[in-house]
């Protein structure tokens, strides 16, 4: 596994000493390395917080420095274990609110339950909306999310939402390490066509292709790839998705693209959930490299993988935090 820390084209402007008196950055335990990188980019230290479990599994949280009247940024992706990290987020939010923080901004590099954003069958919950309302009610004044599974989730929150994208850092990696020649950007399903087109524009309007897939009835994470729409023959294909879970879709799509004549197949996604049989599938696949961000920490097993390349979104999240604090535009930072 190779980790590339790719930054912004220009060096970030660190917060001034006067800013630091009014801003605090805290981190939960779900991705502490990313939180430390973000704080470092801003020239700050993470706030002091105590989190420990009781014998019965309940969590104890104490904010160990004053936040009264401060603008607080709390970094806590709700990645696996999702329920534990979500509950920790809610408890920290309540602690900050009761400690009289002026505003609380929740930084969610990964939003768990994002795929449960609609009713696909009768008597199902819309868990994505439930979680959004919980975060809003717990005290979040603003939420910054990275590559949500669907745009409609923004409307589930009863608070301000900034939705940003990791595409600049992924595109930077592709240009630097894969190249621009004979590329075709491939969406692994119809729902991701807009994402593939956005990437294609950054490669001189490179062609796109779509993998038509059909999901097996009543079986989550089980798909049947049907066909490739578009020309991939003789090209370097790059599969683009927002997240990779068990890697079944991506690996089957890669096989089909290879059968259709692609020279090489790469894959990239913002969120590497990488659960279940993902390791075995990716290692056995025809995919040359699998590029993901560090929105979710990698499990130890992935350190062994030569196919996984991880890039850091810390500089971009740090710049988004700086812009929120100074009142500058956040949308202008990302495509």
pLDDT value of residue 191: 87
pLDDT value of residue 135: 98
pLDDT value of residue 9: 45
3-state secondary structure of 162: strand
CATH of the domain at 291: 3.40.50.2020
| CA nearest to 225, candidates 207, 206, 245, 251 | 251
- For residue 204, CA distances in Å to 21, 181, 201, 208 come to 45, 10, 6, 12
Helix axes 32-41, 314-326, angle to 10 degrees: 60
d(CA 208, CA 188): 11
Considering the domain architecture, whether residues 27 and 176 belong to the same structural domain is answered as no
d(CA 30, CA 75): 9
Considering the domain architecture, whether residues 129 and 53 belong to the same structural domain is answered as yes
Q: Does a cis peptide bond (omega within 30 degrees of 0) precede residue 117? A: no
Considering the domain architecture, whether residues 276 and 320 belong to the same structural domain is answered as no
Pairing of strands 59-63, 49-53: antiparallel
pLDDT value of residue 298: 94
3-state secondary structure of 99: coil
Considering the domain architecture, whether residues 8 and 145 belong to the same structural domain is answered as yes
**Distance from the first to the final alpha carbon of the chain:** 27
Residue owning tokens 């710049």: 319
| CA nearest to 275, candidates 301, 309, 236 | 301
Residue 275 burial class via C-beta count within 10 angstroms: exposed 0-12, middle 13-18, buried 19 and up: middle
**Residues 100, 65 contacting (CB under 8 angstroms):** no
**Residues 106, 89 contacting (CB under 8 angstroms):** yes
Residue 317 CA neighbour count, 13 Å, CB half: 32
Say what the pTM is: 0.91
Q: Structural domain of residue 77, as residue ranges?
A: 2-165+315-333
Q: Which residues of 302-323 are buried (b: 16+ CB within 10 A; e: fewer)?
A: beebebbbbbbbbbbbbbbbbb
Considering the domain architecture, whether residues 185 and 279 belong to the same structural domain is answered as yes
Considering the domain architecture, whether residues 112 and 174 belong to the same structural domain is answered as no
pLDDT value of residue 303: 83
Domain total in the chain? 2
- Which residues have C-beta within 8 Å of that of residue 59, sequence separation ≥ 6? 51, 52, 53, 87, 88, 91
Considering the domain architecture, whether residues 180 and 126 belong to the same structural domain is answered as no
Considering the domain architecture, whether residues 14 and 150 belong to the same structural domain is answered as yes
d(CA 192, CA 241): 7
Q: What percent of the chain has pLDDT over 90?
A: 84
Look up residue 126 and give its DSSP letter: -
Considering the domain architecture, whether residues 192 and 120 belong to the same structural domain is answered as no
Which regions of the chain are under pLDDT 50? Answer: 5, 7, 9, 335
pLDDT value of residue 5: 46
d(CA 196, CA 170): 12
Which element (helix H / strand E) includes 164?
strand 160-164
Residue 93 tokens, joined: 């939010």
- Which residues have C-beta within 8 Å of that of residue 163, sequence separation ≥ 6? 145, 148, 151, 154
Considering the domain architecture, whether residues 155 and 18 belong to the same structural domain is answered as yes
pLDDT value of residue 7: 46
Considering the domain architecture, whether residues 63 and 30 belong to the same structural domain is answered as yes
Considering the domain architecture, whether residues 153 and 215 belong to the same structural domain is answered as no
């Amino acid at each position: 596994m190779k980790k590339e820390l790719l930054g912004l084209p220009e060096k970030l402007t660190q917060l001034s000493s006067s800013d630091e008196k009014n801003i605090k950055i805290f981190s939960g335990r779900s991705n502490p390395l990313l939180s430390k990188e973000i704080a470092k980019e801003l020239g700050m230290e993470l706030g002091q917080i105590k989190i420990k479990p009781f014998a019965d599994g309940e969590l104890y949280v104490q904010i160990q420095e004053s936040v009264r009247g401060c603008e607080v940024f709390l970094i806590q992706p709700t990645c696996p274990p999702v329920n534990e990290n979500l509950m920790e987020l809610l408890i920290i939010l309540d602690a900050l609110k009761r400690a009289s923080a002026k505003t609380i901004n929740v930084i969610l590099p990964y939003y768990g339950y994002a795929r449960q954003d609609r009713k696909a069958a009768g008597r199902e919950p819309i868990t994505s909306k439930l979680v959004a309302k919980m975060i809003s009610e717990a005290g979040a004044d603003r939420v910054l999310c990275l590559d949500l599974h669907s745009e409609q989730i923004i409307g589930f929150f009863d608070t301000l939402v900034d939705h940003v994208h990791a595409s600049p850092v992924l595109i930077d990696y592709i240009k630097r390490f894969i190249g621009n020649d004979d590329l075709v950007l491939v969406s692994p399903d119809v729902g991701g066509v807009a994402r593939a087109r956005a990437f294609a524009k950054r490669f001189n309007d490179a062609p796109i292709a779509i993998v038509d897939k059909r999901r097996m009835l009543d079986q989550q994470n089980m798909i049947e790839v049907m066909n490739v729409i578009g020309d991939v023959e003789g090209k370097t294909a790059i599969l683009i998705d927002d997240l990779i879970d068990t890697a079944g879709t991506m690996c089957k799509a890669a096989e089909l693209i290879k059968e259709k004549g692609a020279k090489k197949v790469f894959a990239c996604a913002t969120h590497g959930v990488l659960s279940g049989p993902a390791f075995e599938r990716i290692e056995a696949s025809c995919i040359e490299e699998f590029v993901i961000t560090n929105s979710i920490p990698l499990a130890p097993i992935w350190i062994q993988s030569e196919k996984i390349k991880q890039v850091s979104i810390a500089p971009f999240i740090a710049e988004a935090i700086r812009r929120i604090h100074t009142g500058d535009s956040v949308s202008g930072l990302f495509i």
